[in-house]
Chain A
Amino acid sequence: MSTLSLMIFLPIITAFALFVTKIHINIVKTLYMIVTGIVMYLAFSLYVAFDANASMQFIEYHPWIAEYGISYHIGVDGVSLGIVMMNAIIMPLVAIALYKQRDKRGYWINLLFVQGGIMGAVLSLDLMLFYLFWEVMLLPIFFMIGLFGYGNKHFITMKFNIYTILGSLMMLIGILYVAVQYKGQFGVYSFDLYDLKNVKLGARESFFAFSGFMLAFAIKIPIFPFHTWLSETYRSAPTGAVIVMSALMAKLGAYAIWRFLFTLFPETSHALAPYFIGIGLFGLIYFGISAMSQSHLKKMFALSSASHLSLVVVGFFIYDVYGLVGSSYLIVAHAVSSTALFLMAGMLFERTKTYHIDSLGGIAAVAPKFALFFAFFALSIVGVPLTAGFVAEVLIVLGAFEYDIYVGFISATTILLAMLFMFKMISQVLYGKVSESAKNFQDLRLHELIALIPLALLILAMGIFPNYFIKKIEPTAKSFAAGKEAVYHE
């Protein structure tokens, strides 16, 4: 079995095995650590072996349901590599940070399951395979919110699921339509991405198929106006699920736009790009300003994520190397920062039993280490220099200016928007008089530090030496841009 397949199926098979056997929670946790550790090791070896001069590589192809042209076709390129790495790095760190709080087997089994699902979805180059994994990664989140969530969790998880599945179904219709058209034009069925991109569709048909896919991705990311499930779901989801959703699944939605829509419907994507850039820029500002009036920490972070993801969408749709590299970089940078922030929000809740910004305060005086890390990660979302977000935002803004000067100016407001709410939140949570809830606040424990320090170092490394990381993305971006005839600036 190849590295990629191992990374997909090791977690899934382990999760199944743990599900059917009833073993002690400590063994479950240990196995979780071992499996995610192996996946992380595999991911690192993949990163090292990844050829920085080539685009798609480590391709694996096996016919699966040959009759309908469905195959097991996976591979990794510069853009998906980032998400693969994040998926592999975040999962064990989440466990290290949370292992004391969570003593339900289901929690860890679901997390393992979702890791495999995400890995599969990122790596798939076959549309049926992609659809399968896309749905597979949804289920664990449904259970996690329903079983381990907070508040009105049953209603919220049901709503989230119905909403997401509605999108997925539209995508399935789109996939089937394209495959049938392929059969009509080439005489055989195929669900392979590289076959299907040769399908010729009329402008109307292409638009409808595009819309089906786009609805699924738009809900998942989410972009305006499909975002209303977001803040309530993030609020009631347990920390592990929130991290998976914000750091990985939302990014996967943006990635899928690039991977599938831009490949399958290049003309339509290009024709609709101005609208999606508009929606993205609107979302960037809309979510940023919405976040200002949030008093619930997780809801604020949810809207903050949405704001940045809108920028990622803009970066993809401007069809240019800077935009693409910037967006890919922002996907990774934001994944790291939001993982860390949601982890720390979870720690905060565990200690103070509240997520309400108004009832927090003065933590810096009692827990300086916590305050330092919390402020650092919050600032890394804002994109201060020497953090990864800064590099990504500069690149996207550069691409945006190249696309159009007004788009450039609006996207440059990204350096202002996150500050509007982040700084006030930092002041209210960390500074001022020590609040009632923070009186017995315990500073970071060793295992929490072990989880947070690598994330902090990664943010710094990506901010100080971006070239080392971006080298791996660049060939993909170049070959993509060359194909799209979006050239470098003359």
Chain B
Amino acid sequence: MNVLTLLLLGPLVSAVLIFLIIFLFSKVHQSVYTFLALLGPGVSAFLALFVSYYSYFEKEVFSSHLFTWLHIGDFVVEAALKADALSAFMILFVAPVSFLIHIYATGYMDGQRSYGRFFAYFNIFVFFMLLLVLADNPIIMFIGWEGVGLTSYALIGFYYEEIKNTYAGNKAFILNRIGDFGFLSALMLLFLEIGSGGFDFEHIFYNLVQIDSGMLSLIAFLLFVGAMGKSAQIPLFVWLPDAMAGPTPVSALIHAATMVTAGVYMVARFAPLYNLTPDISIFIAYVGALSALFAAVVATREYDIKKILAYSTMSQLGFMFMALGVGAYSTALFHMFAHAFFKALLFMAAGAIIAAFHHKQDIRELRGIQAPVLFVMMYIATLTITAIPPFSAFFSKDAIMSALYASGHVEIFFLAFVASLLTAFYMFRMVFVLFFTREKKSAQKSGASMIYPMAVLTLLSIFAGLLNFPEIFAGELNISHWLGLAEQSHKVPHATEIILMGVNTLFIAGVIFYTYKKYAYTDAIEKENETSVIANKFYVDAFYHQTVVRTLQAFSLFFDKTISKSLIDDSINAMAFAYYKIGKIFAHAENGNVRFYALYILVGVVSGFIYLYFLLGDVV
């Protein structure tokens, strides 16, 4: 069997088996589910490492043709997989991180009522995610794209006893699909322009030059609308904080490490297209910059530990889009790679804290938790996300900053700089509030199945930077060379880069010190104002509710009650009743009285004669 096929189908088979077991047997030991749940992602993770290894060292391209999905006229869609360098790079972190979070989840979900159902969904998610990154043509990619949204919906609303959770899932899927509306429209236009020359990525990129620039910009823009929805960028981001209603492993895997990064992957995948549309690329960079800044600002007044991390994810995705926008594709991808590790780790640590603390999520209530292992891991992850050397994100974020600087868009660079300072502020605010307190509370210890995956991710957070070691440190940018994307290279002199790095790090250190003074061992957090504009997330949610949701509901009532019922149906009924009333009038005539009938006969005969008179009168 083909490697890629096996890699893709592993999680699906697991999911189907789990579903069958749930369906057919009422009582099954939990270990059966655990075994199946880990089997699929485990196989995938192993094969992904294998594929990436050969892709990296041997420059091998794996491919697999499953079947012809659709063939009507020119519209040929093959269900085919292909692991070129970019896809191999994606599965290199998607599959192993999925596997690690699955292990973590076996501990986190231990003993919960819907243990099997959870892993069935979780495995299906991995399947769709792999389909998304391995697909060889955009239609199959779109199926994976929608599929991850669907499983995300199911998992956000996993604790369905609380109906609010399912509403959060609905919101996520609806906003995602607004993005998908753009994605689908873009694909349709792309097909109509150049689809007859083959609709796999290779042929699409080869034929791109045939499209005129206006249409190309429209397609590029619509594709990015899809990315906005999936990667929670302004204006379609409002679902991501609500998505934290799902179990924490879901937040770690779907809403931090993998699914939300799909937008970044998609833009990078369509790099040849975006290179031809510089206007849209800069637009992407602006959206990314604003999202990064907005999310970072909101995170400074957030108290729910998971929502802080959610806004942080949105902010980091904004950084990636900035890099994509200026054409530094591999830099964006590398940051995504590092982000997958440290953000998953942050979420898993948060989950462990939440689980140890009776499922409370407010950092003011969680203050003073005593969990040394979790503290160390969370601290390392926080240092990583704030881009402190020598952790991985230092290299990736620094590369983004210097690419932004080199691109000449100083305003974007400035926004990114402010956002990165705010990142240090809100992340350390969270850490200092949680752990740096006088009074301590003891907590339950986390299980081994939760700790070990986190330990692996901690190591990866620290060392993943080595893979793309920058040139100034005598590195070779291995990942950038491996990916070989059509980058627009913005090079800065080494001296400038070092100054940028130094200034950046210095400022960040300053912010951390300020945050320490403000939050560690003080009660500053208690005094914060919860009614400010920032604490209300700039009223974006409320605005959407008032404008979009309310308008739709008003229209719905107007259509149903006023137009359909009062206007159309009542007039149809009125016609029928008018007919009935006319019938009533005639019924009066037919009343059984002979003298009336005699009258009718008389009238009939007379009018007959009159008619004949006029008819014959002409003749005579």
* Interface set of A (CB-CB < 8 Å, partner B): 159, 162-163, 225, 227-228, 286, 289-294, 321-322, 325, 361-362, 364-365, 368-369, 379, 384-386, 390-391, 394-395, 397-398, 401-402, 405, 408-409, 412-413, 415-416, 419-420, 423-424, 426-428, 430-433, 465-467, 470, 474, 477-478, 488-490
> Per a CB cutoff under 8 Å, which of B160, B180, B569 touches A432?
B160
Interface residues of B in 530-588 (CB under 8 A from A): 552-553, 555-557, 559-560, 564-565, 568-569, 572-573, 576
Decide: B174 and A292 in contact? CB cutoff 8 A. no
Given A385-B147, A424-B170, 14 more A-B residue pairs with CB atoms under 8 Å apart are A159-B573, A227-B564, A228-B565, A228-B569, A289-B559, A385-B144, A385-B150, A395-B75, A397-B185, A398-B191, A402-B192, A420-B174, A432-B160, A467-B71
Chain B nearest CB, measured from A469 CB (Å): 10
Q: Tell me, in angstroms, the Cα distance from A369 to B165 when the chains sit together.
A: 20
* Interfacial chain B residues near A163, Cβ < 8 Å: 572
Decide: A488 and B163 in contact? CB cutoff 8 A. no
Chain A nearest CB, measured from B408 CB (Å): 35
Chain A nearest CB, measured from B510 CB (Å): 47
Q: State whether the Cβ of B181 lies closer than 8 Å to any Cβ in chain A.
A: yes
- Contacts A225-B568, A398-B75 hold; do A290 and B559 have CB atoms under 8 A apart? yes
Chain B nearest CB, measured from A138 CB (Å): 18
- Contacts A228-B572, A427-B167 hold; do A398 and B188 have CB atoms under 8 A apart? yes
Q: Tell me, in angstroms, the Cα distance from A369 to B22 when the chains sit together.
A: 10
* Interfacial chain A residues near B75, Cβ < 8 Å: 322, 395, 398
* Interfacial chain A residues near B23, Cβ < 8 Å: 369
Chain B nearest CB, measured from A346 CB (Å): 22
Chain A nearest CB, measured from B220 CB (Å): 16
Chain B nearest CB, measured from A167 CB (Å): 12
> Per a CB cutoff under 8 Å, which of A228, A362, A398 touches B568?
A228
Decide: A385 and B146 in contact? CB cutoff 8 A. yes
Decide: A419 and B173 in contact? CB cutoff 8 A. yes
Decide: B70 and A423 in contact? CB cutoff 8 A. no
Q: State whether the Cβ of B69 lies closer than 8 Å to any Cβ in chain A.
A: yes
For this complex, 19 residue pairs linking A to B, each with C-beta atoms less than 8 Å apart, are: A162-B576, A225-B568, A228-B568, A228-B569, A289-B552, A290-B556, A290-B564, A362-B161, A368-B117, A390-B143, A391-B70, A394-B139, A397-B185, A419-B177, A420-B552, A423-B173, A424-B170, A431-B160, A467-B67
Decide: A401 and B188 in contact? CB cutoff 8 A. yes
- Contacts A228-B569, A423-B174, A466-B69 hold; do A428 and B163 have CB atoms under 8 A apart? yes
Decide: B181 and A364 in contact? CB cutoff 8 A. no
Chain A residue nearest to B146 in the complex (CB) = A385
* Interfacial chain A residues near B553, Cβ < 8 Å: 292-293
| B side interface size, CB within 8 A | 55
Decide: B162 and A397 in contact? CB cutoff 8 A. no
* Interfacial chain B residues near A398, Cβ < 8 Å: 75, 188, 191-192
* Interface set of B (CB-CB < 8 Å, partner A): 23, 67-75, 117, 139, 142-144, 146-147, 150, 157, 160-163, 165-167, 170, 173-174, 177-178, 180-181, 184-185, 188-189, 191-192, 195-196, 552-553, 555-557, 559-560, 564-565, 568-569, 572-573, 576
Decide: B185 and A408 in contact? CB cutoff 8 A. yes
Q: Tell me, in angstroms, the Cα distance from A70 to B413 when the chains sit together.
A: 80
> Per a CB cutoff under 8 Å, which of A291, A416, A432 touches B174?
A416
- Contacts A293-B556, A416-B177, A428-B163 hold; do A474 and B185 have CB atoms under 8 A apart? no
Decide: A470 and B70 in contact? CB cutoff 8 A. yes
Chain A nearest CB, measured from B246 CB (Å): 14
* Interfacial chain B residues near A467, Cβ < 8 Å: 67-71
Decide: A325 and B72 in contact? CB cutoff 8 A. yes
Decide: B185 and A289 in contact? CB cutoff 8 A. no
The 4 closest A-B pairs by CB, nearest first: A432-B163, A228-B569, A431-B160, A293-B556
* Interfacial chain B residues near A384, Cβ < 8 Å: 146-147, 150
Chain A nearest CB, measured from B404 CB (Å): 34
* Interfacial chain A residues near B196, Cβ < 8 Å: 489-490
* Interfacial chain A residues near B174, Cβ < 8 Å: 416, 419-420, 423
Decide: B72 and A394 in contact? CB cutoff 8 A. no
Q: Tell me, in angstroms, the Cα distance from A408 to B557 when the chains sit together.
A: 27
Chain A residue nearest to B174 in the complex (CB) = A419
Q: Is the interface of A mostly helix, strand, loop or mixed?
A: helix
Decide: A386 and B147 in contact? CB cutoff 8 A. yes
> Per a CB cutoff under 8 Å, which of B147, B165, B195, B560 touches A489?
B195
Q: Is the interface of B mostly helix, strand, loop or mixed?
A: helix
Decide: B73 and A488 in contact? CB cutoff 8 A. yes
Q: Tell me, in angstroms, the Cα distance from A222 to B70 when the chains sit together.
A: 30
Decide: B70 and A466 in contact? CB cutoff 8 A. yes
* Interfacial chain B residues near A390, Cβ < 8 Å: 143, 146
> Per a CB cutoff under 8 Å, which of A292, A409, A431, A478 touches B163?
A431
* Interfacial chain A residues near B73, Cβ < 8 Å: 321-322, 478, 488-489
* Interfacial chain A residues near B181, Cβ < 8 Å: 412-413, 415-416
Decide: A416 and B191 in contact? CB cutoff 8 A. no
Q: Tell me, in angstroms, the Cα distance from A151 to B557 when the chains sit together.
A: 23
* Interfacial chain B residues near A294, Cβ < 8 Å: 560
Chain B nearest CB, measured from A181 CB (Å): 30
Decide: B163 and A433 in contact? CB cutoff 8 A. yes
Chain A nearest CB, measured from B153 CB (Å): 8
Q: Tell me, in angstroms, the Cα distance from A408 to B190 when the chains sit together.
A: 13
Chain A nearest CB, measured from B154 CB (Å): 8
Chain A residue nearest to B167 in the complex (CB) = A427
Chain B nearest CB, measured from A3 CB (Å): 27
Decide: B166 and A431 in contact? CB cutoff 8 A. yes
Chain A residue nearest to B131 in the complex (CB) = A385
Q: Tell me, in angstroms, the Cα distance from A322 to B73 when the chains sit together.
A: 9
* Interfacial chain B residues near A488, Cβ < 8 Å: 73-74
Q: Tell me, in angstroms, the Cα distance from A490 to B195 when the chains sit together.
A: 10
Decide: A401 and B69 in contact? CB cutoff 8 A. no
Decide: B161 and A433 in contact? CB cutoff 8 A. yes
* Interfacial chain A residues near B555, Cβ < 8 Å: 289
Chain A nearest CB, measured from B511 CB (Å): 42
* Interfacial chain A residues near B191, Cβ < 8 Å: 398
* Interfacial chain A residues near B143, Cβ < 8 Å: 385-386, 390
- Contacts A162-B576, A364-B160, A384-B150 hold; do A292 and B69 have CB atoms under 8 A apart? no
Q: Tell me, in angstroms, the Cα distance from A225 to B67 when the chains sit together.
A: 44
Chain A nearest CB, measured from B245 CB (Å): 12
Decide: A408 and B565 in contact? CB cutoff 8 A. no
Decide: B160 and A430 in contact? CB cutoff 8 A. yes
* Interfacial chain B residues near A290, Cβ < 8 Å: 556, 559-560, 564
* Interfacial chain A residues near B165, Cβ < 8 Å: 431
Q: Tell me, in angstroms, the Cα distance from A427 to B150 when the chains sit together.
A: 15
Q: Tell me, in angstroms, the Cα distance from A171 to B566 when the chains sit together.
A: 28
Chain B nearest CB, measured from A404 CB (Å): 11
* Interfacial chain B residues near A413, Cβ < 8 Å: 181
Q: Tell me, in angstroms, the Cα distance from A290 to B563 when the chains sit together.
A: 10
Q: Tell me, in angstroms, the Cα distance from A386 to B188 when the chains sit together.
A: 19
* Interfacial chain A residues near B180, Cβ < 8 Å: 415
- Contacts A379-B150, A385-B146 hold; do A292 and B552 have CB atoms under 8 A apart? yes
Q: Tell me, in angstroms, the Cα distance from A211 to B281 when the chains sit together.
A: 51
Q: Tell me, in angstroms, the Cα distance from A467 to B139 when the chains sit together.
A: 14
Decide: B184 and A289 in contact? CB cutoff 8 A. no
* Interfacial chain A residues near B142, Cβ < 8 Å: 385
* Interfacial chain A residues near B166, Cβ < 8 Å: 426-427, 431-432
> Per a CB cutoff under 8 Å, which of A365, A385, A477 touches B161?
A365
Q: Tell me, in angstroms, the Cα distance from A402 to B191 when the chains sit together.
A: 10
Decide: A397 and B188 in contact? CB cutoff 8 A. yes
Q: Tell me, in angstroms, the Cα distance from A368 to B180 when the chains sit together.
A: 30
Chain A nearest CB, measured from B268 CB (Å): 22
Chain A residue nearest to B573 in the complex (CB) = A159
Chain A residue nearest to B19 in the complex (CB) = A372
Chain A residue nearest to B78 in the complex (CB) = A467
Chain B nearest CB, measured from A192 CB (Å): 31
Q: Tell me, in angstroms, the Cα distance from A294 to B71 when the chains sit together.
A: 39
Chain B residue nearest to A419 in the complex (CB) = B174
* Interfacial chain B residues near A415, Cβ < 8 Å: 177, 180-181, 184
> Per a CB cutoff under 8 Å, which of A368, A401, A490 touches B185?
A401
